[in-house]
């Protein structure tokens, strides 16, 4: 056994003591961040009654007892030593236990004690939407995210090209014209002049637009006569000439010619990325990189090098293979799990391709731009129907409000098919909307009504602050509306969408709490009435992904019988100077509504005495240091 002691343990365990979490109730409204229970895990299966007893009269827990990959008990060190003795087969241990309140490690009791130095234990964080292969590549490819102008970006590309043999692809990502001093679209002219001997492919920050030079387009066989594919486009100037900008599904026609690293190199990159994720407090991820991620994680798994839990998602072209090989959502083992199918309804805000009900403001005389519908509603339904009947849940990318409306219509049409598949395969198929950034007010409640999860990324809100002028205010859309969805009874899942955003979940909690830029300028706050408490944001990084994966009886909080996935950190997200104690036991994140369901004016302080107190705590959480990451009872990362 292993005892993690001398800690502040935040269990986030459900308040209901007698039963497992109700699958029809959002986990976020039924848990206590403090929690207290020193009972040992039952001998029956963990899902028989995994919930701890929350008794305010008992001392706050300061230790966790682990046996193998499972939590045996959570409570005080003295209580857990007695439990360890009672469960030990060593009679000498029982004789020397000293009864309840033993304060020393018992001779003869094989227990490894880790002193946590008074720091804070939290449930392991899971990123509900990330791209591990793209993330791994981004750590190696050229990073343009810090460039402040087109000239800077071109200079960086030139420098990288000079370091490579002639003819080698120059690949990178991260450029964002919306942040450049001169926010005009790049084109291939400068690249053709400065890097003529290399094919160049540079992804925008949102990964929905590719900036290519003539050499890259030539290799891909693309010229002025090439038609735009469905769901994408080749941007042309007034004379019909290709500018080198390629949008949405059209990017596939270029990207398929970019050489991929060898399988060995990709696994090496993935292992390095895994170390980064563990160091940031992630014990698991929901991975949306399709077959590339499936192969990479399988290789790590078979080599005994997989140190975090992964739920894998498919891309549309992989569905026939998945059906043929018997892929069903929820299959797999404790470390690699089959997830669902990822589909795309629209593009991204930064690329002006998110599908909106109101047009983007255009200044160059173009036809009104409502974004791009990458698939029609009927096309989405057809693909979703095929997957669901085969026992594969569906996750649909939707950022614009019109895209979200269409996706909800798809899931409404899919209800009977989903129920039949759940009965046939004897498992829940929890469909999801990925991003759900802009929602028509009348559609907010439909997420709960349809049982559709909202998979959202708090960092998108603060990274998009400079883009929000693109949204028609008169539409009164629910923007990055995490509390609105929770209040409506919907399940919300938090993640990063890395590498679009950094994977660090503590920066995401900061974003949810402040809705202000990452540097902490309160004046940049967007809609403070939609801020979310730190307690709630932690839940949506822990219980949220567990529920989405159908693992809420095993993961997402700390209690006897649960998987021993937790982290030790130097900052307590549940307590701070200037924070009301009620914030731990009430839903400070959700604001009251009037009779029409609209949000009443609110101060957005989340139970803090002042804006300064809120930001002080949020910034401390943002800068949290992870000391230990434990997955399956084993220390997988130590600072």
In a domain, 10, yes or no: yes
Q: What pLDDT is attached to residue 130?
A: 98
Residues in the chain with pLDDT < 70?
16-31, 35-57, 88-109, 363-366, 582-602
Same domain, 211 and 237: yes
What are 101-132's pLDDT values in tens digits? Answer: 444 555 556 789 999 999 999 999 999 999 99
What CATH code is carried by the domain that includes residue 93?
2.30.40.10
Task: Among 220, 241, 256, give the residue marking a domain's end.
Answer: 256
Same domain, 104 and 162: no
Same domain, 143 and 103: no
Same domain, 141 and 180: yes
Same domain, 240 and 168: yes
Same domain, 188 and 251: yes
Number of domain units in the chain: 2
Rounded to an integer, what distance in angstroms lies between the CA atom of residue 88 and that of residue 95? 11
Q: What pLDDT is attached to residue 41?
A: 63
Q: What pLDDT is attached to residue 575?
A: 94
Residues 510, 621 contacting (CB under 8 angstroms): yes
Q: What pLDDT is attached to residue 106?
A: 54
Q: What pLDDT is attached to residue 31?
A: 62
Query: Two tokens at 24?
Result: 């029809």
Query: Two tokens at 333?
Result: 């083992």
SS (H, E, C) 340-393: EEEEECCCCCCCCCCCCCCCECCCCCCCCECCCCCCCHHHHHHHHHHHHHCCCC
DSSP assignment of 136-161 equals HHHTTSEE-TT--SHHHHHHHHHHHH
What CATH code is carried by the domain that includes residue 175?
3.10.310.70
What are 210-219's pLDDT values in tens digits? Answer: 999 999 999 9
| C-alpha closest to that of 548 among 396, 431, 459 | 431
Query: Two tokens at 34?
Result: 């403090």
Q: Is 439 helix (H, G, I), strand (E, B) or coil?
A: strand
Classify strands 478-479 and 438-439 as parallel, antiparallel or unpaired.
antiparallel
Task: Among 256, 288, 321, give the residue marking a domain's end.
Answer: 256
Q: What pLDDT is attached to residue 585?
A: 55
Task: Among 256, 283, 314, give the residue marking a domain's end.
Answer: 256
Same domain, 105 and 154: no
Residues 379, 328 contacting (CB under 8 angstroms): no
In a domain, 8, yes or no: yes
In a domain, 299, yes or no: no
In a domain, 214, yes or no: yes
In a domain, 245, yes or no: yes
Beta-sheet strand order (sheet of 170-175): 142-143, 170-175, 200-204, 209-212, 242-248, 232-236
Q: What pLDDT is attached to residue 86?
A: 82
Give whole-number Cα distances, 269 to 137, 375, 410, in Å: 7, 33, 37
Beta bridge mates, 376: none
33 secondary structure, DSSP code: S
Same domain, 88 and 199: no
Q: Is 82 helix (H, G, I), strand (E, B) or coil?
A: helix
Supply the pTM of this predicted model.
Answer: 0.88
Same domain, 83 and 191: no
Same domain, 148 and 228: yes
Query: Two tokens at 73?
Result: 């008990």
Same domain, 155 and 102: no
| C-alpha closest to that of 64 among 134, 125, 131, 7 | 7
In a domain, 229, yes or no: yes
Full domain range(s) for residue 157: 132-256
């Amino acid at each position: 056994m292993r005892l993690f002691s001398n800690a502040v343990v935040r269990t986030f365990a459900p308040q209901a003591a007698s039963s497992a979490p109700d699958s029809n109730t959002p986990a976020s409204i039924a848990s206590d961040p403090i929690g207290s229970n020193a009972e040992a895990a039952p001998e029956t299966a963990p899902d028989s009654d995994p919930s701890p007893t929350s008794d305010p009269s008992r001392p706050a827990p300061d230790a966790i007892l682990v046996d193998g990959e499972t939590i045996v008990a959570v409570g005080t060190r003295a209580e857990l030593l007695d439990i360890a003795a009672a469960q030990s087969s060593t009679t000498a241990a029982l004789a020397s236990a000293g009864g309840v309140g033993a304060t020393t490690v018992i001779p003869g009791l094989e227990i490894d004690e880790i002193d946590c130095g008074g720091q804070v234990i939290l449930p392991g964080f899971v990123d509900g939407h990330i791209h591990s292969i793209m993330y791994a590549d981004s750590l190696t490819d050229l990073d343009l995210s810090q460039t402040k102008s087109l000239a800077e970006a071109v200079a960086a590309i030139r420098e990288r090209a000079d370091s490579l043999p002639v003819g080698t692809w120059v690949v990178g990502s991260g450029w964002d014209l919306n942040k450049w001093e001169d926010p005009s679209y790049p084109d291939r002219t400068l690249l053709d002049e400065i890097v003529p001997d290399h094919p160049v492919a540079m992804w925008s920050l949102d990964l929905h637009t590719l900036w290519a030079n003539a050499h890259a387009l030539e290799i891909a066989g693309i010229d002025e006569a090439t038609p735009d594919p469905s769901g994408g486009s080749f941007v042309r100037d007034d004379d019909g000439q290709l500018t080198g900008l390629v949008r949405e599904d059209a990017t596939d026609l270029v990207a398929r010619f970019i050489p991929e690293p060898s399988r060995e190199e990709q696994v090496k990159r993935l292992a390095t990325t895994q170390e980064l994720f563990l160091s940031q407090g992630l014990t698991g991820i929901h991975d949306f990189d399709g077959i590339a991620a499936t192969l990479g994680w399988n290789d790590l798994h078979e080599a005994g090098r997989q140190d975090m839990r992964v739920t894998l998602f498919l891309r549309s072209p992989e569905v026939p293979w998945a059906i043929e090989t018997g892929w069903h959502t929820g299959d797999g083992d404790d470390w690699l799990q089959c997830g669902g199918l990822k589909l795309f309804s629209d593009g991204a805000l930064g690329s002006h391709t998110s599908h909106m009900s109101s047009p983007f403001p255009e200044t160059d005389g173009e036809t009104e731009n409502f974004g791009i519908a990458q698939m029609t509603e009927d096309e989405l339904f057809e693909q979703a129907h095929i997957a669901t009947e085969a026992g594969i849940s569906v996750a649909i990318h939707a950022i614009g409000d019109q895209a979200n409306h269409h996706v909800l219509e798809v899931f409404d049409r899919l209800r009977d098919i989903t129920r039949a598949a759940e009965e046939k395969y004897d498992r829940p198929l929890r469909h999801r909307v990925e991003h759900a950034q802009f929602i028509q007010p009348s559609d907010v409640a439909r997420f709960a009504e349809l049982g559709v999860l909202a998979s959202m990324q708090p960092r998108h809100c603060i990274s998009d602050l400079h883009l929000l002028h693109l949204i028609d205010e008169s539409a009164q859309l629910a923007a990055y509306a995490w509390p609105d969805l929770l209040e409506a009874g919907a399940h919300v899942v938090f993640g990063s969408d890395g590498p679009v955003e950094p994977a660090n979940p503590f920066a995401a909690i900061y974003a949810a709490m402040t809705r202000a830029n990452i540097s902490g300028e309160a004046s940049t706050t967007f809609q403070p009435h939609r801020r979310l408490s730190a307690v709630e944001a932690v839940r949506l990084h822990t219980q949220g992904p567990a529920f989405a994966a159908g693992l809420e009886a095993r993961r997402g909080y700390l209690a006897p019988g649960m998987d021993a996935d937790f982290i030790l950190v130097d900052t307590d997200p549940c307590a701070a100077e200037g924070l009301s104690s009620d914030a731990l036991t009430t839903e400070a994140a959700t604001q009251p509504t009037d009779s029409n369901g609209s949000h009443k004016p609110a101060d957005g302080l989340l139970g803090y005495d002042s804006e300064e107190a809120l930001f002080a705590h949020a910034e401390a959480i943002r800068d949290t240091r992870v000391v230990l990451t434990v997955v399956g009872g084993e220390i997988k990362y130590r600072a």
